[in-house]
Amino acid sequence: MDSIGNPVFVLDLRPSNWLQYIAWNQAAVDRSAIPREDVIGKTALEVYPGRLGRIAYERHAMVAKSGKADSYEIALPLKVGERTVRTTLTPLSEPDGQVRKLVGSTVDLSSEREQHQNRIQASAEITALTSEMEQFISMAAHDLRSPMLNVQNIAFMLREDFEDLGDGKLELIDLLENVGVQATSLITDVLSYARATNAQARQSVFGLEELCANIFVVLDPQNKHELSAVQAELFSDDIALQIILRNLVDNAIKHAGKESVDVRISVREGAEEYLEFEVRDNGRGFDDPAIVFLGGGKFRAESGFGLLGIRRLINSRGGAISAEAPETGVGSIVRFTFPGKAVSIAAPKSDLASAAT
């Protein structure tokens, strides 16, 4: 019994027909500061004075009489002060069916409640701090976007009617514009991350193909790429899904490594009122940091702020996301689950493997 971390004791009815302590483990000694010699051979009436002893002994007697286990909460004077503990009593019967012994154990509820309260307080503080940081990031990104757009406009104006004398000034203008474009793209990703984190859940019926068509028009206005989505009528959060799918399609186009990429979006019903989406492309595919991050790994800058927002948004709704390379070794497959139901789904189109070449 001394190897058990919680206080444990044993009560015996014999020989006096009073429930006396016959065992008191080391944890009980340590927590109560009551040595064994002050407990063994005595009843709860003798160990705990006054009303406390009467309450404890009445519980002992009730379990011995009923033959049924019982748990109760009681305030006990322990070494660290008065603590609320939960005591569990288990009767042990002899072959004749009579209860002769009780085994008791106690758990310090005050300590558990204090730890739980501390966890709640720490969680609240972290949530508040995270919210403040996200608001700061969102405001900073919003304030930076306009200056970066001005940098691009300045580069455009400098290039207009610019006479190239071969002295490298045109290359500097191109570099200035490229810096503006890249910085604007990064700021947009940061804003998407902040908005995705704070997006409120709402559900409605919508067409997946129509939703994706609006995404494709923005991301591929010149129709350079083969972008398609299965015909499906869904009941889900169309705004959140638009954020997710826009980022995934944009990522596929940006990192395709070719002038034209084929991206196909499909969906099917999953378990427990969740939809299972798949975004498949025949581009260059994800690098390792992105695959590891989408699978649950830690965020690194090279994973992309867009993927950070996507994963947080999906996880906040109880879904999951993962990425992998197709069997052909060309392109990438992103799968994610999201709350919703399918009203109808058309037959899926042919697999993208044929277009991977």
- Give yes or no for residue 230 having a pLDDT over 90: yes
Amino acid 197: pLDDT: 56
- Give yes or no for residue 299 having a pLDDT over 90: no
Segment 148-177 mean pLDDT? 81
Question: Which tens digits make up the pLDDT trace of 122-156?
Answer: 667 666 655 655 665 666 666 677 777 778 788 88
Segment 295-306 mean pLDDT? 49
Amino acid 356: pLDDT: 44
Question: How high does pLDDT run on average in the chain?
Answer: 80
Bridge partners (DSSP) of residue 77 are 82
Q: Which residue would you say has higher pLDDT here, 351 or 14?
A: 14
Amino acid 88: pLDDT: 92
In whole angstroms, what is the distance from residue 347 CA to residue 37 CA?
80
Amino acid 48: pLDDT: 87
Q: Tell me the pLDDT band of 89, cut-offs 50, 70 and 90.
A: very high
- Give yes or no for residue 204 having a pLDDT over 70: yes
- Give yes or no for residue 229 having a pLDDT over 90: yes
Q: Tell me the pLDDT band of 348, cut-offs 50, 70 and 90.
A: low
Beta-carbon contacts of 263 under 8 Å, excluding residues fewer than 6 positions away, are: 225, 226, 227, 228, 249, 252, 253, 279, 280, 281
- Give yes or no for residue 274 having a pLDDT over 90: yes
Q: What is the secondary structure of 212-281 as a DSSP string?
A: HHHHHHHH-TT--SEEEE--EEEEE-HHHHHHHHHHHHHHHHHT-SSS--EEEEEEEE-SSSEEEEEEEE
Amino acid 296: pLDDT: 54
Amino acid 129: pLDDT: 54
100 burial (CB, 10 Å; 0-12 / 13-18 / 19+) is middle
Q: Tell me the pLDDT band of 329, cut-offs 50, 70 and 90.
A: confident
Q: Tell me the pLDDT band of 326, cut-offs 50, 70 and 90.
A: confident
Q: Tell me the pLDDT band of 300, cut-offs 50, 70 and 90.
A: very low
- The number of helices, as runs of H, and strands, as runs of E, in the chain is 9, 12
Amino acid 143: pLDDT: 67
In whole angstroms, what is the distance from residue 290 CA to residue 251 CA?
11
Quote the distance between the C-alpha of residue 241 and its chain's center.
Answer: 18
Amino acid 354: pLDDT: 45
Q: Per the omega criterion (within 30 degrees of 0), is the bond before 15 cis?
A: yes
- Count Cβ atoms below 10 Å from residue 63 Cβ, excluding itself: 23
Q: Which residue would you say has higher pLDDT here, 298 or 288?
A: 288
Amino acid 199: pLDDT: 56
Segment 188-195 mean pLDDT? 62
Residue 287 has phi, psi (to 5 degrees) of: -85, 170
Question: Which tens digits make up the pLDDT trace of 108-119?
Answer: 877 666 666 767
Residue type, 181: V
Segment 332-337 mean pLDDT? 91
- Give yes or no for residue 55 having a pLDDT over 70: yes
Amino acid 52: pLDDT: 87
Amino acid 169: pLDDT: 84
Which range has the worst mean pLDDT, 27-36, 59-68, 94-103, 346-355? 346-355
**Rounded (5°) CA angle 49-50-53:** 65
- Give yes or no for residue 228 having a pLDDT over 70: yes
- The bridge status of strand 262-269 relative to strand 226-229 is parallel
Amino acid 13: pLDDT: 86
Q: Tell me the pLDDT band of 183, cut-offs 50, 70 and 90.
A: confident
Residue type, 147: P
- Count Cβ atoms below 10 Å from residue 197 Cβ, excluding itself: 17
The side-by-side arrangement of strands in the sheet containing 8-12 is 20-24, 8-12, 99-108, 81-93, 70-78
Amino acid 308: pLDDT: 72
